[in-house]
Amino acid sequence: MMNTEIINDFIQPDWPAPANIKAYTTLRHSQVGIPQFESSPANPVPGNVDRRLLKQKLNLPAEPIWITQTHSTIALKATPENFEKEADATFTQEVNQICAVITADCLPLLICNQQGTHAAAIHAGWRGLANGIIETTLKQLNLPPEDTLIWLGPAIGPSKFEVRRDVFEAFTQNDPDTAQAFKLFEPEHWLANIYTLATMQLQKMGITKIYGGNYCTHTDAERFYSYRRDQGLKGRIVSLIWIANSKK
């Protein structure tokens, strides 16, 4: 897997995407997580994103098409008409329509093709993964597998993603091969590898150009927010991708 570059306080995926594909993921020191939720544990409202500051710091060409994420399998076009509609993925073939997802342990996937004509962002928690959010989004894109590039962004790592039987069976009952992504460490408790689960699904669809997947939001408190580590009270990670006007 390729390494990740940190540029101007943002992760820039190190993948062989065309130059007109722009992609970023925020870090804690990107300062776009709303800070009062970090320092006020008595406040039960989850952390959010300073959208204005994000747009300013990245000099975004437009407002991202934010969606209301519910761990669904809904993938929508990144158009203003779908702003804040319920979905867990957006996709586009249009210039400067920004796909964006928010995470804090769940897996963000950024997608493009080698020609730079398609882009998508997916929010994949275990429910979305088990129910098919990746497959649904890729069907909407309708790209040849050999032309498809995937970047797996920061998510909870395999040493910290503790799950119970409901999660284990949600995957293994449909695909027994996914048992290799789980490690039993005490009765009825498994450690799950969300990166392996996503990679297995992608490979079964014929996609092999997969990058990233070497993070842990839970253990890397300096760089990332983590819902589990922080009991949901801190900020969020934003992953964005869009097709720019120029290939320069």
Instruction: List pLDDT tens digits, range 48-88.
Output: 688 888 999 999 999 999 999 999 999 999 999 999 999 99
pLDDT for the residue numbered 234: 73
CA 71 to chain centre: 12
Rounded to an integer, what distance in angstroms lies between the CA atom of residue 183 and that of residue 46? 30
Is 191 a member of any domain?
no
Is 217 a member of any domain?
yes
Is 146 a member of any domain?
yes
Is 186 a member of any domain?
no
Is 65 a member of any domain?
yes
Number of domains in the chain: 1
Is 192 a member of any domain?
no
CATH number of the domain that residue 99 is part of: 3.60.140.10
Longest dimension (CA), the chain: 55
Answer whether residue 149 shows pLDDT above 70. Answer: yes
Contact (CB, 8 A) for 137 and 89? yes
Contact (CB, 8 A) for 134 and 122? yes
* pLDDT band at residue 181 using 50, 70 and 90 as cut-offs: very high
Domain that holds residue 42: 5-156+207-243
pLDDT for the residue numbered 38: 44
